Chains A and B, each alone.
Chain A
Amino acid sequence: MSGIKQMEPADIGKTFRRLDYETKVTGRAQYLADMSVAGMCHGKILRSPYPHARIVRIDASKALKIPGVVATLTRDDILNHPAIDPYYGPVFKDQTIVAVEKVRHVGDPVAAVAALDLDAAEEALRSIEVDYEELPAVLNVGDALKPGAALVHDSVKVPESGFADLAELKPVEGTNVCTHFRLNRGDVQKGFAESDRIFEDTFTLPAAQHSFLETHACIASVEPGRRITVWATTQNPFVVRTQLANIFKVPVSKVRVVVPYLGGGYGGKVYPKIEPITVALALKAGRPVRLVLTREEVFYTITKHAAVIRMKTGVKNDGTLVARECEIHLDTGAYAEIGPRVAKKSGYTAAGPYKIPNLKIDSYSVYTNKPPAGAFRGFGVSQSAWAVESQMDIVAAALKLDPLALRKQNGYDEGDKFVTEETLRAVGLKKCLDEVAQSIEWGKREEITGANVRRGKGLACMIKATITPSISSAVVKLNEDASLSIYTGTVEMGQGSETVLAQIAGKELGIPIETIQVLGVDTDVVPYDLTTSSSRSTFHMGKAVQLAAQDIKNQLKQIVVRDFGIPAEQIEVAGGKIRLPESVIEYKDAMSKRFGMQGGTLVGEGQVKTSTKNEFGEKSTSAFWFLAAGAAEVEVDVETGKLRLVKYATAVDVGKAINPLGCRQQLAGAAITGIGQALFEEIAYDNGQLINPNFIDYVIPSLGDMPPVIDPISVEVPDPSGPFGAKGIGESALIPVAPAIANAVFDAVGVRIKDLPIKAEKIFLALRDKDESGR
């Protein structure tokens, strides 16, 4: 193949060809659906046709008479099974492996089958008889919160222990409120009284789908002795391991989760998805089972939260933000999934990246009879920022202030207090704003290009937190030839983590990237990592790998002290060599001296555990902060409402760009997903039925939808805790897109769209209303 061109020591701040590339461009990379296991049979899931119904009777007995069918799975197999706890869920135990008493959304798994081939599996599904008694369904948050509304869950099991950051959030019994997060600061009534102007708006956005091209898939095998192995498309193998251990009542050591390269995740592959049902089938079948979801099934498995956000903001005439009251209702669907944390993150960021002394924020996740909503790149902040950043421009227009100046006037600086009263550090917000403004030539009016076309510019910014506290651990092995193997639980799902981790270890040890192998994820082998999400891997796992590499350096130093008799203070490990006052020792020579032959291994370990206390001794909600801004230039056809995105600039405070091309990919890529959500993505329902679960009717941006220019800009304000100052960047660029475009539309044609997506129709109708009211 291409071969090793030149062996230079690894570095940071320099673009390296990614380590996962050659296997991917040659088609050799094995994704889960490419894999098979000896003896494997094929699973299929029977799903509910109703949004809400009681299961009166279920009978799968005919299925087993079909040639080729190996096993069936219904509630009868999981209830009263001594070795199965059918209830699970990342926050509350409100999910079951298959439906038990009732189905709660269209597509809810009711039964499953395993067969020798897919034809038999499909025929088996058709042979399963289910009698349903339809129940009244709640299909949006408004209906779900009405007094006397049908309850999605009569009661919810809360586990004894769970995520530390969510301990205070509980379901409200007897209602459909899954969780209610509250944030109060100052005196909001006094704040409104002191304000010159009060703005009150409601913003909405629909459910969306992650649309990774690789659907969820799983191969599970349960060997005698209840040794469970799953090959899973998951972003957090260790959480899946814990959940499977709890469900199947075995120690975590008995559960092995292997994760191949993922064909995209974007938040839609965190927490258990189809792993519990696949393991249950494999257990029943007594042989391995592979389950690969269809595209339609993915839409029933996980979505992004739809939201209704009411925002009331008090402002001084000079633009100073004084008070805000905000109510956020997030449609979490039939199961809590990670909705409680989404509600919390939405609530925390309802003040945006702005200093607002008086706040009253109520953020709810609400159960409805729709497919579950969970994590989605941006995690609750793309919901709150849609409201925050749209309203900023409403304020600016009313007060005749420049939207950029208004943001900088109120925006966070280094050392400011976040809404939680913790001190912010490494805050590149205003740099990001200046960069995107410069990129789209903010303030410069563009020539009008046609009789019916108007141009406009808009910008937006954001602040987001990462999951805290959390844990990442890394092990690195220095081999006898001074090559390095890196063991981590970070899942390579396209973000380039393998390369970044190798660059960090290589830089620390002064060795070429070509001599480093980053291993795939296997929970039997790699140490614990909480999750590959929340834009956390470079910061947390990068640091853990750096510490592990430093551990190796210390061990090398100790070898030289002990085996060469050199005083420690005279030894420096740098530039890939052990440096003594008058000579250098190669790593492999030190190894050989230590082990007495060409052999042996040095094992380095690094652990990062972030704390709920920061370095100022304050309660901390985030180990580091993401700051970003985006700016859009649009053209709007005033007769049809058709919008054309001319340019999009995105600036993200990356701390330190370890792999600059990798950063640009993350920024531009997240922006493109943001463009899809801003302009056309929307899951549509009719009476609880999802009516566009396919890529013809659920439209995502294709290459042809790309604006002529996307300008990804990495701003570097180093975070002292990150590896070489780096922060996480996976989600940031997505968040400002929708409000930046809405603000540009307002700038172009003077209409304010408050409901996503910003389709031509909405602009068309708003322009017509404006014309009529103007007459």
Chain B
Amino acid sequence: MLVFVVRVRPDTSTSTSDDHEWLRMKDFEYLEPTTVAEACALLRQYKGEARPYAGGAYLSIVMKQGLFQPKALVNIKKIGALKGIRFDPSEGLVIGALATHRELETSKLAKEKFPILSEVEREVANIRVRNVGTIGGNLASGEPLTDLAQVFIALDARVGIAGPSVTRVLAVEKLFLDFYQTALAEDEILTHVVVPPLPARSGIEYIRFSSSSVVDKPCVGVCARISLGADKKSCATVRIALGCVGPTPIRARKAEEILAGKTFSPQAAAQAGAAAAEESSPTSDLRGSEKFKRGIVRVLVRRAAEKAYERAVHASTSSA
């Protein structure tokens, strides 16, 4: 939810207050469509000067900071199609864009099918943000210091996107382009997230590392998922997703390759950690130096992979 802004010094010698005051939000039009099509049409009409509004957890901050002053907010909360969490045995868990963090945290379906999601949500921001902030808004903000995106990536999740004329589906991994930039066009709305059913014999682990308070944004977030082959020993599918160590969450593909198709070993996990550290591109900021973040990635990837493997083995034996 948070924007860390390095203040830019004014480039002219005549200066006004804008650079240094948190002023109140500027006024805007407040529109309340009841269908996705209507919402997209409104967004198109405003040509980039409107934004979908749901919980406002992220938007209110950038608007107060004056980083974004929309002409209109398009409240999508009255669009029933974007609500709810359901499970479809073939499709998987379908999370409506309007589902709040808290809904996902407490969803019985999510706890049963993907308990990792509930565990991750418990640590997101605070109860108030979890009550209003939505899954759709979290992903659509493109905020780099977040948790959910890397978990979705490790789960091979996809997002549904609706525009004025077409709808499309995109892997979560492909959603993020740069700091606060996503593949969503100005007139598109993220409608839902689909988390496909995991293969049998899968284990997943997410480690959120805060460099200070428990409620601080993560310094590094690492997710590892291992799905074992039929032999219950080799790692058939491996996903390692890293967050907060680059402009967007990424998959650590070299690290994945080290483990994929082979029998798991602690040595391989350590090698995967080292590879992931190489692949990441962290920058030094308030939450840690580049060197430190790489070092943490190395340790956390190893630990997450070990835990994911342990869970995969457990899933194999208990389901057998």
Contact = CB atoms under 8 A, between A and B. Distances in A.
B14 interface: yes
Given A47-B21, A128-B16, A764 B209 contact: no
Contacts of B21: 44, 47, 122, 125, 294, 296-297
B91 interface: no
B24 interface: yes
B286 A689 contact: no
B16 A125 contact: yes
A701 B6 CA distance: 23
Given A131-B13, A294-B22, A640-B299, A704 B214 contact: yes
B211 A760 contact: yes
Interface string B6-18: 1101100111111
B2 interface: yes
B182 to A, nearest CB: 21
A765 B213 contact: no
A126 B16 contact: yes
Interface stretch (B95-103, B104-112, B288-296): B288-296
B319 interface: no
A700 interface: yes
For the side of the interface on B, what is the size category?
35 or more
Interface stretch (A397-405, A691-699, A735-743): A691-699
A132 B13 contact: yes
Given A49-B19, A296-B20, A639-B299, A764 B292 contact: yes
Interface in A728-774: 757, 759-761, 764-765, 768
Contact of A107 (B13, B20, B289): B20
A726 B20 CA distance: 46
Contacts of B19: 49
B10 to A, nearest CB: 5
B23 A684 contact: no
Interface residues of A, number: 52
Contact of A132 (B15, B214, B286): B15
Contacts of A132: 13-15
B213 to A, nearest CB: 5
B225 interface: no
B211 to A, nearest CB: 5
Given A639-B299, A697-B286, A47 B213 contact: no
Given A49-B20, A691-B286, A679 B7 contact: no
B22 A296 contact: yes
B90 interface: no
Contacts of B292: 760-761, 764-765
A247 B126 CA distance: 46
Nearest to A638: B299
Nearest to B145: A696
B16 to A, nearest CB: 5
A639 B302 CA distance: 11
Contacts of A46: 16-17
B16 A47 contact: no
A689 B213 contact: no
Contacts of B51: none
Interface in A124-144: 125-134
Nearest to A294: B22
A702 B14 CA distance: 41
B28 to A, nearest CB: 14
A702 B214 contact: yes
Nearest to A121: B23
Given A639-B299, A691-B6, A696-B4, A702 B20 contact: no
Interface string B271-309: 000000000000000101101100110011000000000
A699 B17 contact: no
Contacts of A252: none
Contact of A699 (B5, B6, B212): B212
B299 to A, nearest CB: 5
A124 to B, nearest CB: 10
A49 B211 contact: no
A679 B295 contact: no
A318 interface: no
Nearest to A126: B16
A764 B295 contact: yes
Interface string A295-323: 11100000000000000000000000000
Contacts of A696: 1-4, 217
B16 A680 contact: no
Interface string A503-520: 000000000000000000
A686 interface: yes
A19 B251 CA distance: 58
Nearest to B10: A49
A306 to B, nearest CB: 16
B7 A689 contact: yes
B216 interface: yes
Chain A CB within 10 Å — which of B20, B286, B295 has the most? B20
Contacts of B320: none
A553 B295 CA distance: 71
A526 interface: no
A705 interface: yes
A198 interface: no
B14 to A, nearest CB: 5
B306 to A, nearest CB: 11
A691 B16 CA distance: 18
A642 B295 contact: no
Contacts of B217: 696
B166 interface: no
Nearest to A701: B213
B130 to A, nearest CB: 13
Contacts of A134: 13
A118 interface: yes
Contacts of A705: 213-215
A699 B216 contact: yes
Contacts of B23: 122
B286 A129 contact: no
Chain A CB within 10 Å — which of B5, B13, B209, B216 has the most? B13
9 tightest A-B CB contacts, nearest first:
A680-B212, A704-B214, A761-B292, A696-B2, A125-B17, A639-B299, A699-B213, A699-B212, A689-B7
12 contacts: A126-B16, A129-B14, A294-B21, A296-B21, A640-B300, A680-B211, A680-B216, A697-B2, A697-B4, A702-B214, A704-B214, A761-B292
Given A47-B17, A699-B212, A701-B213, 5 more contacts: A118-B24, A134-B13, A691-B286, A697-B2, A761-B211
